[in-house]
Amino acid sequence: MRTTVPDPDSSWRPSPEQVRQAYSGFRALGPEEQELLDRVSEALATSGLDPASVQLEVDHARVLVHGQVADMPTLERIGAVIADVDGVEEVIDKLVVAPSAEQRG
């Protein structure tokens, strides 16, 4: 009978949940990145924009924003608000203008 020892080389192995998250594109944020994400979300909310209407990703001091907005002024305003947040060095804007059904008439 063969017996196995879990991780006989004493190395660390990710949990099944961590493996699932990695395959789905999840990346845990460091404390500084999480703080920057919180500041960006707060800045959007206090400027009258809904942070839940766009997706934000933070990589060090770079913020990627993507999603759909109703009009060009909103698109420009979101980028400007994010760029003004302390700690943001670069904004990668992947927003697209997609008017709602009511605006299309």
Closest CA to 40 of 96, 101, 92, 102: 92
- Tens of pLDDT, residue by residue over 27-56, are 778 889 999 999 999 999 999 998 888 999
The whole model's pTM is what? Answer: 0.70
H-helix segments, the chain: 16-23, 31-46, 72-83, 101-104
Interstrand relation of 55-59 and 62-69 (parallel, antiparallel or unpaired): antiparallel
- Tens of pLDDT, residue by residue over 53-103, are 899 999 999 999 999 998 999 999 999 999 999 999 999 999 999 876 555
Q: Is 77 helix (H, G, I), strand (E, B) or coil?
A: helix
Q: Is the confidence at residue 23, as pLDDT, over 60?
A: yes
Interstrand relation of 90-97 and 55-59 (parallel, antiparallel or unpaired): unpaired
Instruction: Write down all domains in the chain, each with its CATH number in brackets.
Output: 28-104 (3.30.1340.30)
Query: How far, in Å, CA of 15 to CA of 63, rounded?
Result: 29
Closest CA to 94 of 62, 59, 68, 60: 68
Two tokens, residue 93? 């804007």
